[in-house]
Chain A
């Protein structure tokens, strides 16, 4: 994937520099600003693919910045980052117009995965009917069924939901935290390897007839369903 032009809004200099370094190392270009007002100025004067926005900022806080951006008709994906992972605040951030909400500190790979997912969601075309098609995998969220190469794949509920989430975001990295949020609906991270375990199960079901493994593991980052 080509490098993204990102705006990082963060008032903690050490953390901001570390995040910027990590993002640059992944091939993205980063513009750093330290408060909400400067963020709005930056968005007005340059074009960014996405914004990483700290929730707690001096003067204009993150929620107000998103609100301001959305009121101004700016639709750039915004991933909000907060030291406090409280669910009420998450809801507040999402309601203000943020695309996603991550607890601090999140690894750069996690941030990029969420930005990519948000960008991809922008391109979603409402497909005809309800079936999702990724490569030789077909899945119907409403009929709770999945097929590979025309063969029915029997999937228990959780594995099916996992496949649906992958099929909705083909060629997009989904991290462990994202899957826990979206498939399990959890606002916490269990200590057991639930995601690993269920991805393994899904994989086994999808490859039971010797087909190639459609799910790619990105070590330490997450999983991706290849289209």
Chain B
């Protein structure tokens, strides 16, 4: 509908404004005219009463005498007075009326031919004794006052209309300009230029907030697209190697089929297939997390209790591998989250720490609360990860072990990161001096 367009809306606004101004102008004009008329009519009534005198029927000479008298008085000298007989013959007075006004009150203008009266009122009445008395007064304080008043209205209200008109047009133009800018950005992005952003640096208010949020959305979209692109290329790249190995193994199996027992070779091939399936499983799980499908299962939970439970469960396994796992039992740290995913994320971090450190390493699980944040960390005192390598570790399929001979599909941290992101948190890798500290920072659950 045209009301939805800025131009349409502005046109409707301007039309409504114009009619309001015109109505106001007319109302003001007629109200002041009516007020003036009432005052003038009252004056005419009094003057007519005084001129006619107390006697009824009036006497012509008495009336004429009073007319002369009042024609000289300061406050009545401006009145036009005319005394006529019943046939319209003038008996006295200071004006001549060529078209006779009707009986009672009536309006006059310059056509009445009274010198100095451009607009006025007349009261013509029978005062008895065959006498008709007409009293005329100007209804304008100055000549051509009505025209002047109209000009005042036009200039005053007109300037208001003009200001609003210009304002509306400028506002509409600014809005249209902004939207055009946004559309340009969107079109650029659709063409594939994901670096395009809305300018928002030097502004305040709604436009800036909109632009900021728009840009944040673009950042997120860009992040997802980049991740997706790299996942696709990573998949293409990383699945080739295990597939090639699997194929080689099967070839070996085929060749040795007659030669001897094939059990072992088949088992190796199966393990390779399982590795591939595990990789796809992890990719699917990350996709499930990223799609936000788990948000419905969010609940208020105590991360300290969860961490203690997982750490306690993993402790014997760490011990079996000649590593120690310690955890601190702090106060409750509430977050809103998915119990399964947070458990899986923490398990992944602990497993990572146990798998990628030498025998004798100590792994510490800790939950700390800050202002508005809860930190769940797994730190080891192993050799650590060089700062440059930490980004690689975070990349999907990122394996620091270039030969890719250690078990695992390289998706562990990517999964943890996806879990953190789903919980509006973040994953941080830092130096535990010595060792590596991996930390999930989550927003603290609002107080219940």
Contacts and interface: CB of A to CB of B under 8 A. Distances in A.
B340 A194 contact: no
Given A88-B293, A190-B351, A103 B281 contact: yes
Interface residues of A, number: 21
Contact of B285 (A88, A188, A197, A201): A188
A191 B407 contact: yes
A190 B316 contact: no
Contacts of B297: 87
Interface of A (DSSP majority class) = loop
Contacts of B355: 191
Best-surrounded residue of A105, A197, A201 (most CB of chain B within 10 A) = A197
B239 interface: no
Contacts of B407: 191
A58 interface: no
A187 B396 CA distance: 22
Interface residues of B, number: 25
Given A88-B293, A103-B281, A188 B314 contact: no
A197 B317 contact: yes
Given A105-B277, A186-B343, A188-B340, A193 B284 contact: no
A52 B229 CA distance: 37
B263 to A, nearest CB: 12
Best-surrounded residue of A86, A103, A185 (most CB of chain B within 10 A) = A86
Contacts of A88: 293, 296
Interface string B290-307: 000110110000000000
Contact of A84 (B284, B343, B351): B284
A186 B348 CA distance: 13
Contacts of B440: none
B418 to A, nearest CB: 13
Contact of B281 (A85, A185, A193): A85
A201 B316 contact: yes
Given A186-B343, A191-B407, A192-B354, 15 more contacts: A86-B284, A86-B288, A87-B294, A87-B340, A88-B293, A105-B277, A185-B340, A188-B285, A188-B344, A190-B347, A190-B348, A192-B317, A192-B351, A194-B313, A197-B316
Nearest first, the 5 A-B pairs at minimum CB distance are A190-B347, A188-B344, A197-B317, A192-B351, A86-B288
9 contacts: A87-B288, A87-B294, A87-B297, A103-B281, A186-B344, A188-B285, A188-B340, A192-B317, A192-B351
